[in-house]
C-alpha cells in the first residue's frame, strides 16, 4: 500500500490534523473498516430512532456493509483508496477503470475512472437532527480530488463518473461541477454524473493556484 500525506480539518476547533490517502486498499482492510464503522452506525441509528427522525431523513448509506464490497476488490479493474487519520479510517472509495466510458460529447466513448463506492466514516456525518456535527470536514472532497488525480494517472485526463445517492446529488452536480446525465434504471434510478476533462482541469488549476 502506498500513501499520500495531507492534512484534514477538525470541525470542533478548525485545527489541521495529519492524514494519509492510502492506495491499494485490500479486502481485509474493508473488514477493518466495517469493524470500525458498524458500531458507530448502530449508535447513529439508535439516536435517529430515539429522536423520531423520519426515515427519509436518515443517511442513505446507513445500510452499507463494507465487508460485502470486499470481493469486488479482486477484480483487476478495481482499486481501493482509504483516507486515514488518527489511526482510523475516515473515508473509503472503490473505483473501476472499466467497462465505463464517458457519455459527454467532447470525449464520448473515451475511458473514465468510475467511482463505484465512496463513503465517509459515520462519525464524520453531519446530522443536525440528532445534534451530530461530524468530526472532520471535507473527507468526501478529498476522495473526489483523489479520483481526479487517479484518473489523470490512468491517462483518463481527470474524467470521472459515478452514480450518486439522492442525498449526494447536489454535492456532485453543484460543488464538484459534474454533469448529470440522467437516471439509470439499472442502478435503481440513481443519477449518473460525469466530470469532464475540462472541469477536472479547472479543479486542479484552482487547487494549484490556491
Partner 1 sequence: MTNMTKHNGPSREWLLKMADGEDAVQSTSVGGMAANLGVLPPVAAESQRVFGRLIEFARRARGLSVEQLATHADVDLAEIVDIEREDHFIPTPRTVYQLAQVLNLPSGRLTEVAGLTTPRSDVSAAALKFAARSEPTATLSAAEREAFEEFVKVLVEATDGG
Q: Does residue 92 touch partner 1 according to CB under 8 A?
A: no
- Binding to partner 1 by residue 181, rule CB under 8 A? no
Q: Is 199 a residue that touches partner 1 (CB under 8 A)?
A: no
What angle do the packed helices 139-153 and 197-209 form, to 10 degrees? 120
Which DSSP state fits 175? Answer: I
Contact 158, 107 (CB under 8 A): no
Residue 197 C-beta: closest distance to partner 1, Å: 18
Gap between the Cα atoms of 75 and 105, Å rounded = 29
C-alpha cell, 163: 452514480
Q: Taking CB under 8 A as the rule, does residue 5 contact partner 1?
A: yes
Q: Kindly identify the residues of this chain, within the stretch 41-80, that bind partner 1 according to CB under 8 A.
A: 41-42, 45, 49, 55, 59-65, 68
CA–CA distance, 60 with 45 (Å, rounded to integer):
11
Residues that bind partner 1 (CB under 8 A): 1-9, 16, 19, 21-23, 41-42, 45, 49, 55, 59-65, 68, 93, 114-120, 125-126, 137-145, 149, 162-168, 170-172, 174-176, 186-190, 203, 206-208, 210
Amino acid at each position: 500500500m502506498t500513501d499520500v500525506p495531507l492534512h484534514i480539518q477538525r470541525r470542533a476547533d478548525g485545527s489541521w490534523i495529519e492524514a494519509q490517502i492510502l492506495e491499494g486498499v485490500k479486502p481485509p482492510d474493508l473488514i477493518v473498516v466495517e469493524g470500525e464503522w458498524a458500531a458507530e452506525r448502530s449508535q447513529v441509528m439508535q439516536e435517529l430512532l430515539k429522536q423520531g427522525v423520519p426515515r427519509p431523513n436518515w443517511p442513505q448509506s446507513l445500510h452499507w456493509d463494507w465487508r460485502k464490497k470486499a470481493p469486488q476488490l479482486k477484480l483487476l479493474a478495481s482499486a481501493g483508496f482509504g483516507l486515514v487519520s488518527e489511526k482510523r479510517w475516515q473515508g473509503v472509495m472503490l473505483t473501476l477503470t472499466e467497462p465505463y466510458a464517458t457519455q459527454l460529447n467532447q470525449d464520448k466513448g473515451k475511458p473514465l475512472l468510475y467511482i463505484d463506492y465512496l463513503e465517509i466514516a459515520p462519525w464524520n456525518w453531519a446530522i443536525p437532527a440528532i445534534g451530530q456535527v461530524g468530526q472532520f470536514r471535507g473527507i468526501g472532497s478529498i476522495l473526489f480530488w483523489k479520483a481526479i488525480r487517479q484518473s489523470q494517472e490512468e491517462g483518463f485526463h481527470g474524467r470521472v463518473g459515478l452514480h450518486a445517492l439522492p442525498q449526494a446529488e447536489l454535492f456532485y452536480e453543484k460543488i464538484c461541477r459534474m454533469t448529470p446525465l440522467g437516471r439509470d434504471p439499472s442502478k435503481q434510478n440513481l443519477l449518473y454524473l460525469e466530470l469532464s476533462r475540462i472541469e477536472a482541469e479547472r479543479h486542479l488549476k484552482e487547487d494549484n493556484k490556491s
